[in-house]
């Protein structure tokens, strides 16, 4: 499909969105509820579309969180999307008699550039939020993942989504680029930072707003008093989950110098139990080259359980400042947690972070971090809570998906103000010679306290 074809598709989706948005939020949520029940009944069949991981992992990492995301919308979306009346409190005196309401209206045609690592959960959440808000959706699947997106679309169609509300594009890079150039009303991208920069440049030509959920290089802070066995088990889980191909997988582990040796021993025991598959050849080559550089810079490295494990790493190594979507873990001995935080803040990525140790100390340290999703005494799993927004900053992108914030991102606020009663419209008067002095007096009087 050429650019003109995508422009025509965009207009079709806008028309479809207008009809869809005319239906009540309750009607839309009834369809979301039917979708959830259908997904629950057909969960094994849908999960089997994923061939690169065990069925149990897909159920836990994708199907169950997607069901939770649908239920969240059923419970919360009506209140979030309903018009909000603005009361009299705080209204400027000169606007006496004015009543206002804030509406949340859909954006229209939303383009989703879907990821490859969690093609059901991440793509599904974004699709559900977009259509709940009243939008129509075009989805460009990741290469090889068209079947997953089609399965979600078919379930939504069976649940009652009208024809044409969801359109699936080819899974090629050229299709994605042409769709971005067409100027949709919003674009959601989940992908690498390099992809985010390319999409942002193209989207700027049409002033298309973006939500960019990009790469991570997540930090882990092991505080004095942390349960090191629990930390080791958690880090091993982070490496095993999806073969390390998780945007908030742990990578940079900051720990006090006095604790590093014991942490290394415990990690070695747990990593040895893993059988993490190798990433694709291009990613494996990048990881290998950066590992060689790190070793030349003083680190020790070994492959254990399929994980590239570095010890005696330092935060200035290129690997610790890159977005390598692969199972690797670096232990960074630090003289203090303050030093560790400074090192983390120098990293261009700020998506997620995990802290282990006494809760009060972890909470205090968390206030100094840039990451968008911070977990204390656990990692990754709590971020799947559908009530929570998800997003990062810096090279990790901007904007939020999921939660109330993700839903409202896919709407635009419209204000309607009504002036009632006999209150004078002073702004309609022709200005007099003494008005400036009088208004200055009003300003002083209104702002005396």
Q: What are the catalytic residues?
A: 213
Buried/exposed code over 335-367 (b: 16+ C-beta within 10 A; e: otherwise): eebeebbebbeebebbbbbbbbbeeebbeebbe
CA distances from 230 to 7, 183, 233, 363 (A): 53, 48, 5, 18
In this structure, the number of other CB atoms found within 10 A of the CB of residue 257 comes to 11
Q: Is 414 left (phi over 0), alpha (psi -120 to 50) or beta?
A: beta
The token pair that represents 317 in the structure block: 């190594």
Q: Is residue 91 within 8 Å of residue 409, measured between CB atoms?
A: no
Pairing status of strand 328-334 against strand 307-311: parallel
In this structure, the number of other CB atoms found within 10 A of the CB of residue 63 comes to 22
Buried/exposed code over 28-54 (b: 16+ C-beta within 10 A; e: otherwise): bbebbbbbbebbeeebeebbebbeebe
Strand order in the sheet with 136-140: 166-168, 136-140, 109-113, 186-190, 210-213, 397-398
- C-alpha to C-alpha distance for 381 and 373, rounded to whole angstroms: 11
Query: What is the DSSP code (8-state) at residue 293?
Result: H
Q: Is 321 left (phi over 0), alpha (psi -120 to 50) or beta?
A: alpha
Candidates 165, 208, 118, 193; CA nearest to 402 is 118
Helix axis angle, 64-81 to 25-41, nearest 10°: 170
- C-alpha to C-alpha distance for 253 and 267, rounded to whole angstroms: 11
Candidates 103, 159, 164, 104; CA nearest to 136 is 164
Q: Is residue 81 within 8 Å of residue 27, measured between CB atoms?
A: no
- C-alpha to C-alpha distance for 319 and 114, rounded to whole angstroms: 26
Rg of the chain over Cα atoms, rounded to whole angstroms, equals 25
- C-alpha to C-alpha distance for 182 and 176, rounded to whole angstroms: 10
């Amino acid at each position: 499909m050429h650019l003109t074809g995508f422009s025509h598709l965009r207009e079709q989706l806008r028309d479809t969105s207008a009809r869809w948005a005319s239906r009540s939020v309750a009607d839309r949520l009834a369809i979301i509820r039917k979708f959830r029940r259908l997904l629950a009944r057909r969960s094994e069949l849908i999960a089997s579309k994923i061939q690169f991981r065990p069925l149990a992992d897909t159920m836990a990492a994708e199907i169950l969180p997607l069901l939770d995301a649908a239920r969240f919308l059923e419970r919360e979306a009506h209140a979030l999307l309903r018009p909000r009346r603005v009361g009299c409190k705080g209204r400027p005196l000169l606007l006496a008699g004015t009543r206002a309401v804030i509406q949340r209206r859909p954006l229209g045609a939303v383009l989703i550039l879907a990821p490859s690592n969690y093609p059901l959960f991440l793509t599904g959440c974004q699709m559900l939020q977009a259509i709940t808000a009243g939008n129509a959706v075009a989805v460009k699947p990741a290469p090889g993942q068209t079947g997953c997106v089609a399965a979600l679309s078919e379930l939504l169609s069976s649940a009652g989504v009208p024809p044409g509300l969801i359109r699936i594009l080819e899974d090629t890079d050229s299709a994605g680029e042409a769709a971005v150039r067409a100027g949709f009303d919003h674009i959601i991208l989940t992908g690498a930072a390099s992809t985010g920069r390319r999409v942002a440049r193209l989207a700027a030509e049409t002033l298309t707003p973006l939500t960019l959920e990009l790469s991570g290089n997540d930090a882990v802070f092991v505080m004095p008093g942390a349960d090191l066995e629990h930390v080791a088990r958690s880090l091993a889980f982070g490496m095993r989950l999806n073969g390390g191909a998780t945007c908030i997988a742990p990578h940079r582990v900051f720990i006090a110098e006095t604790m590093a040796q014991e942490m290394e021993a415990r990690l070695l025991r747990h990593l040895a139990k893993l059988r993490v598959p190798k990433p694709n050849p291009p990613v494996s080559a990048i990881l290998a080259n950066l590992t060689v550089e790190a070793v030349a810079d003083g680190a020790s490295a070994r492959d254990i359980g399929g994980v590239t494990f570095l010890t005696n790493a330092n935060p200035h190594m290129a690997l610790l400042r890159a977005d390598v979507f692969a199972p690797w873990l670096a232990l960074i001995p630090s003289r203090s947690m303050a030093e560790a935080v400074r090192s983390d803040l120098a990293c261009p990525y700020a998506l997620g972070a995990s802290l282990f140790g006494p809760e009060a100390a972890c909470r205090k340290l968390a206030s100094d971090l840039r990451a968008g999703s911070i977990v204390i005494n656990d990692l990754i799993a709590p971020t799947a809570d559908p009530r929570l927004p998800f997003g990062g900053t810096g090279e990790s992108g901007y904007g939020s998906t999921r939660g109330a914030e993700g839903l409202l991102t896919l709407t635009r606020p419209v204000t309607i103000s009504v002036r009632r009663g006999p209150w004078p419209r002073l702004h309609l008067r022709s200005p007099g010679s003494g008005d400036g002095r009088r208004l200055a007096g009003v300003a002083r009087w209104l702002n005396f306290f």
